[in-house]
Amino acid sequence: MKTTNSIFTKITLGLLIAGSMAACNNNKTGSTPAATTPATADKEPIVYVNSDTLLSKYDYAKDMSKRLNDKGTSAKSDLESKGQAFQREVADYQRAQATLPADQRQKTEQRLQREQQQLQTYQQNASAQFQSDQATENGKLYDKIADFAKQYAKDKGYKMVLTYSKANPTVLYGDPALDVTADVVKRLNEAYSKEKK
């Protein structure tokens, strides 16, 4: 779970910065800095989102984490079941080994070696599939948050949306008045709720 949270944090960080930069680049008109549109009087041009809070309260991220945990648990259970069955076969062979003729021992040992290799291949494939699923899910999360951050910055007149996380602190301090996490989470959850229907 810590690995997943770390990945989510890094994705959220990159996503929000990229979205903010894209929004800033889209607003450039080629005029001098004095001619650019200032932020509204009651808003700062730079805000931040606490990615730890975002990931813990964004329903899509919670659902995604649950889906990945369920897949991981299922794959682990399946692998353990196959491993236990193989271990029983090995134990049965070891008990009967002394009474078997040499040619049958050799055939059984070759079969067990093939099964062990198949089990290892199965484990590697299951691990690769899980990592692929995780990357796909993280990509979807990144896209959702990046698209939202870009539009959010544009709608609110922000020039930059930073992210804060204890795991990856790129912002050491931010005035709490600049923290828009609650609004971002609320709007993301509203959009996700409509999407689920």
Per-residue pLDDT of the chain (197 residues; tens, 9 = 90+): 444 444 444 444 444 444 443 344 334 433 333 333 344 445 668 888 999 999 999 999 999 999 999 999 999 999 999 999 999 999 999 999 989 999 999 999 999 999 999 999 999 999 999 999 999 999 999 899 989 999 999 999 998 888 888 888 777 778 888 889 999 999 999 999 999 88
pTM summary value: 0.67
User: How many structural domains comprise the chain?
Assistant: 1
Q: Write out the H or E segment, with its range, that includes residue 160.
A: strand 160-164
CA-to-CA distance for 117 and 114, rounded, in angstroms?
Answer: 5
- Rg value, the chain, Cα: 26
Q: Three-state SS for 131?
A: helix
DSSP state, residue 179: B
Q: Which residues, including other chains, have CB under 8 Å from residue 67's CB and lie 6 or more apart?
A: 137
Whole-number Å distance between alpha carbons of 161 and 49: 7
Q: Domain range holding 52?
A: 2-196
Q: For residues 158 and 20, is the Cβ–Cβ distance under 8 A?
A: yes
